[in-house]
């Protein structure tokens, strides 16, 4: 696998994690990681979902500080 494809795959995974974080914030629906029996896999999934939360938070901070975005209610 080339570095370009690996990078593209990594970015896709981060975007999916960020979408899941957005769904969690807007609807309350979240992945039930407690249902995973293997503790190593459960930890990896939890960390993966935490990356999405971080990306979402960083994106909101960036947009709040950008002159190109406004907050409408």
Domain ranges of the chain: 3-65
Residue 1 pLDDT greater than 80, yes or no: no
Asked if residue 21 lies in contact with residue 46, where contact means CB atoms within 8 angstroms, the answer is: no
- Please give the model's pTM, rounded to 2 decimal places: 0.84
Averaged pLDDT for residues 51-65: 96
pLDDT in tens, 3-51: 999 999 999 999 999 999 999 999 999 999 999 999 999 999 999 999 9
* N-term to C-term CA, the chain: 46
- Give residue 45's pLDDT: 96
E strands within 1-73?
none
- State how far the Cα of 11 lies from the Cα of 65, in Å rounded to an integer: 23
Residue 71 pLDDT greater than 90, yes or no: no
């Amino acid at each position: 696998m080339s570095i370009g494809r690996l990078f593209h795959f990594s970015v896709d995974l981060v975007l999916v994690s960020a979408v899941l974080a957005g769904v969690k914030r807007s609807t309350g629906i979240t992945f039930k990681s407690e249902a995973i029996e293997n503790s190593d896999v459960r930890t990896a999934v939890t960390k993966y979902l935490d990356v999405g939360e971080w990306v979402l938070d960083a994106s909101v901070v960036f947009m709040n500080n950008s002159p190109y975005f406004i907050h409408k209610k």
